[in-house]
Structure 1
Amino acid sequence: MSKHLFTADFEINASAKMLFPYLNTPSGLAQWMADDVNVNEDKVYNFIWDDEDHLAKMVSHRTNQYVKFEFISDNEEDKDDASYFELRLETNDLTQSTFIKISDYSDMNDTEELMDLWESLVENLKETVGG
């Protein structure tokens, strides 16, 4: 099954410095993105949605700018073409507005459904941070 890259931008009324802990820490992510998020001693994150575990590694990050999580799969095909999501914070220098840019690379190819999902998650984040 081929993968699909979904991207979207959402404006958030909060600074990148304030938002970043909600993007890169298990406790921050658990407040808006998943039912729960844990990290083990090997720095493998466990995103729990609907009582299902989804293991991921933080493969790259830059403080107050972005974080990228790549999902771990037992499937050989997925190891060469792993699903991931990236959360990037960008500030418009003119308006001083902060945007979260989401890149979601997965088997899910229903763009409308993905937009609804991420809109809902970002609304959770906005409620959490007051933005």
Structure 2
Amino acid sequence: MIGTLQCVVLDCHYPAGLAQFYAALLGGEVDRPDPRWSLDEDWSTVHLPDGRVLGFQRAEDYRPPIWPDPAHPQQLHLDVEVEDYAAAEAAAVALGAEVRARHDRWGVLTDPAGHPFCLVPRHCA
């Protein structure tokens, strides 16, 4: 095992509004302070009653999916929390992932089919 699922992140135009929708649908607390994320107009969260977290990320050119039209595919990614970023990245690459971007506190990789996922250090503040 390389890491644990930190949250599922959905791209959207208006993160706070979508977070409110999912909190009403599933229960939970919108934008509860959490050292893993910075909350702002581009990022919102819902901490669900069972402990899972949904994240909502602003995407300026967001195009909503049209089920089941492949020209407008589903859009979400996984955040995977890891203890040691460098070791986790190396292990994921060995499994077939490709590094797409590195940021100050996290990195974006793609799985062998091209789906993006993020590696996020556990103690990322």
TM-score, normalised by the number of residues in structure 2? 0.30
Relative to its length, the structure with more strand (as a share) is: 1
Higher relative contact order (CA 8 A, sep 6+): 1
Relative to its length, the structure with more helix (as a share) is: 1
